[in-house]
Amino acid sequence: MDAKRRVKISKYLARHLRHQPARLGLTLDPAGWTDVAALLAACRARGLPLTLEELHEVVETNDKRRFAFSEDGLRLRASQGHTIEVDLGLPPADPPPVLYHGTVGRLLEPIFQEGLRPMTRHDVHLSAAPETARGVGARRGAPVVLTVDAAAMAADGHEFRVSANGVWLTPAVPPSYLGFLTPPPDGSPAEAVP
């Protein structure tokens, strides 16, 4: 399958498994799982013929690992990013000392006033790598990478969880835990600036 078709299928799955399963005629269980056979039939019925082999290829080659099969391979779900009510059953986890969030400059004022909020999602999404956060921010314009003092948040009682694809989740990030990631002019590795 070519890259263009993989991207199309990935976006289609993300829309329906994260946000609008009913629009595809699917029902997700409380943990966000749907039956693979029902998913393939629903895709076919709505004009997107998709084989099981193609579905496996999309899931396995997705660079962000957006989807996961159940252990028996009979169910599929989005790894995170839902706007519908699901409980992924992720246990609390100890975060790395610093996590990162990608955004754009026009959103900095409200972020530094109110902190990071989940908006339409269940949680704020953070990454362990600044490069990942930069890529997220770049989807909306010139990226700005924020640092999150996750060690201090955890010490203060804030809970973190990590999804199957390595995205760190927390209900909110108060502004006092935020800083900027700035690349020094000499090109040496970036450092966190509170």
Domain of 44, CATH number, reads 1.10.10.970
For 57-98, the pLDDT digits (tens) are 999 998 788 999 999 999 999 998 888 988 888 999 999 999
Residues 114 and 59 placed together within one structural domain of the fold: no
Contact, 112 vs 147, CB < 8 A?
Answer: no
**Binning pLDDT at 50, 70 and 90, where does residue 188 land?**
very low
Q: Is the pLDDT of residue 54 over 80?
A: yes
Of 16, 44, 78, the one marking the end of a domain is 78
DSSP 80-147: S--SS-----PPB-PPPSEEEEEEEGGGHHHHHHH-B--TTSSSEEEBSSHHHHHHHHHTTSSEEEEE
Q: Is residue 93 situated within a structural domain?
A: no
Which amino acid does the sequence have at 161?
R
pLDDT in tens, 115-138: 999 988 889 999 999 999 999 998
Same domain, 140 and 106: yes
Is 90 contained in some domain?
A: no
> Is the pLDDT confidence value at 190 over 50?
no
Mark whether 25 and 102 lie in a shared domain. Answer: no
Are 57 and 8 found together in one domain?
yes
Which residues lie below 8 Å from residue 21, measured CB to CB, with a gap of 6+?
27, 28, 34, 84
Structural domain of residue 142, as residue ranges?
A: 98-193
